[in-house]
Amino acid sequence: MTRDSRMVWDDCLRTIKKSVSPQSFKTWFEPIKPVQLDTEVLTIQVPNKFFFEWLEEHYVQLLKKSIRQELGERGRLVYHIPESGSKPNGHSSNSSKLDTRPSADKDSEPVPGSFDAEMIKNPFIIPGIKRIKVDPQLNANYTFENFIEGDCNRLARNAGLAIAKKPGGTAFNPLFIFGDVGLGKTHLAQAIGNDVVSKIESKAVLYVSAEKFTNQIIQAIKNNSVNDFVNFYQMIDVLIIDDIQFLSGKQKTQEIFFHIFNQLHQNGKQIILTSDRPPKDLEGMEERLISRFKWGLSADLQAPDLETRMAILETKMDEEGVDIPSDVLEFICYNIKNNIRELEGVMVSLLAQSTLIRRDVDMVLAKEVIRNFVTTINKEITVEFIQQLVAEHFNVPVEKLHHETRKRNIVIARQLSMYLAKKLTNKSLKSIGEQFGGRDHSTVIYSCKAVQDMMDTDIVFKDTVEEVEKKLKMSLNI
């Protein structure tokens, strides 16, 4: 049987999967599409050049190994990068191919149609242009060192690091960082600026909120000095504009910004933008701007997982020189999920309280403080809450717990919910049964016994039960 590109790539993926974390696999390998197979050359499509650079830097050996395993010693990969929109000094072809043979092999003949990554860089940098001294308006507290890495921010953080090393010299221009409030957009954008300033003194870095930028334009229009305004911005090497969504609906500002953006981009200057939503969702923003926002890399910041939240909080506490018991830390991070700023808020109140009333930071104090932050906190464990949490843990819709079904994971989720309801609430067997689609008390007894038996024989299941139980207790104020 002859193998096609899909089959070969699937086999490669099997090898790769064994060597990387599930998260890395999902981030870096699942988005890849095999497109063509010519005897010893497999062409794969990656979403953008950043992807290619990342793979090349981090996974080249692994890719090499897996492809040779599948296609023999001479087997190799060629990347295909779809071009998104046309660039000002753009290549007219619809796609770019990059020869990704590991560097050591590159002295052999180049692949037709391939080009050197250098060619992507802009040729319009004017040497010796007048330097200006600009106050970058940065907050020195926002650095990469104290911007904790987690799955939630890995792509954005690493793109930021790459930019800081070579502002304007990577494919991520602009870098468009988006995400909900309090997830670290401003911190990350400023960290890039601070890093550039500390390394390359001659670079003119400027951080400005979109709001301030808009106000400056309004002033400039009033004073008849729009040209000066534009000229000033054109001298910036790294321009960071925070909360760009603020420009929505502001046509004149957008027009001037468009002009500045083009000039900077053409001259190989770095542009970093943050936004509370991805480019495509920016209503009231001109299409030509949105399409430029997509030229480089759009990277989102997501809500951090528990481990990352704990690491962030621990670092902050360390910075404050405060020791916090690990159960308190865990309790806080369990309860404050979506917003890092809020996490810090809890911490600050906790510290204030403990200094004011000279109490140690303990669980009792933590619960008092957190009550002011979490309005939805439950006073007691209810059957509904158990059902909700178990369903979430098992990744099944909660209403399925009420219906007749033989699906194994649903049956287990239902039995476990009953078991926990019996254990953690004062409800009678009868009323518990009623809350599971009107079952009778004997079903509840049977379920509790089934769960107990499974826990006795299956250590993994026992761990699961304990984890869910802990989650329940942590989520509640008990």
Residues lying near ligand ADP in the complex (CB under 6 A) are found at: 146-148, 153, 179, 181-187, 312, 340-341, 344
When the beta carbons of 49 and 185 are compared against Mg ion, the nearer one is: 185
The Cα–Cα gap between 73 and 64 comes to 10
Q: Give exposure, 210-230, as e/b (b: 16+ Cβ within 10 Å).
A: beebbebbeebeeeeebeebb
Alpha helices in 166-225 (DSSP H): 185-199, 210-222
Structure tokens at 319: 């910075």
Q: How far is the CB of 265 from Mg ion (least distance, A)?
A: 23
Q: How far is the CB of 451 from ligand ADP (least distance, A)?
A: 38
Select the span of 23-31, 106-114, 178-186, 216-224 touching Mg ion (CB under 5 A).
Answer: 178-186
For residue 55, the partner it binds in Mg ion, ligand ADP, none, with Cβ less than 5 to 8 A by kind, is: none
The Cα–Cα gap between 425 and 418 comes to 10
Alpha helices in 282-339 (DSSP H): 287-293, 306-320, 326-335
Match 């890849």 to its residue by tokens: 32
Q: Going residue by residue from 133 to 172, which x/- string records binding to Mg ion, judged by CB under 5 A?
A: ----------------------------------------
Beta bridge pairs of residue 43:
36, 78
Q: Which residue is nearest to ligand ADP (CB)?
A: 184
When the beta carbons of 168 and 279 are compared against ligand ADP, the nearer one is: 279
The Cα–Cα gap between 395 and 402 comes to 15
Q: How far is the CB of 276 from ligand ADP (least distance, A)?
A: 8
When the beta carbons of 75 and 184 are compared against Mg ion, the nearer one is: 184
When the beta carbons of 185 and 400 are compared against Mg ion, the nearer one is: 185
Q: Which residue is nearest to Mg ion (CB)?
A: 186
Strands 33-38 and 41-45: antiparallel
When the beta carbons of 70 and 242 are compared against ligand ADP, the nearer one is: 242
Q: How far is the CB of 346 from ligand ADP (least distance, A)?
A: 12
CA distances, 239 to each of 69, 139, 413 (Å): 46, 15, 52
When the beta carbons of 147 and 261 are compared against ligand ADP, the nearer one is: 147
For residue 75, the partner it binds in Mg ion, ligand ADP, none, with Cβ less than 5 to 8 A by kind, is: none
Beta bridge pairs of residue 175:
272, 297
DSSP code for 114: B
Contact yes or no for 45/37 (Cβ under 8 A)? no
Q: How far is the CB of 157 from ligand ADP (least distance, A)?
A: 7
Select the span of 44-52, 118-126, 183-191, 348-356 touching Mg ion (CB under 5 A).
Answer: 183-191
Distance in Å from the first CA to the final CA of the chain: 63
Q: Is 186 in the site for Mg ion (CB under 5 A)?
A: yes
When the beta carbons of 310 and 389 are compared against ligand ADP, the nearer one is: 310
- Residues of the shown chain interacting with Mg ion in the complex, contacts defined by CB under 5 A: 185-186
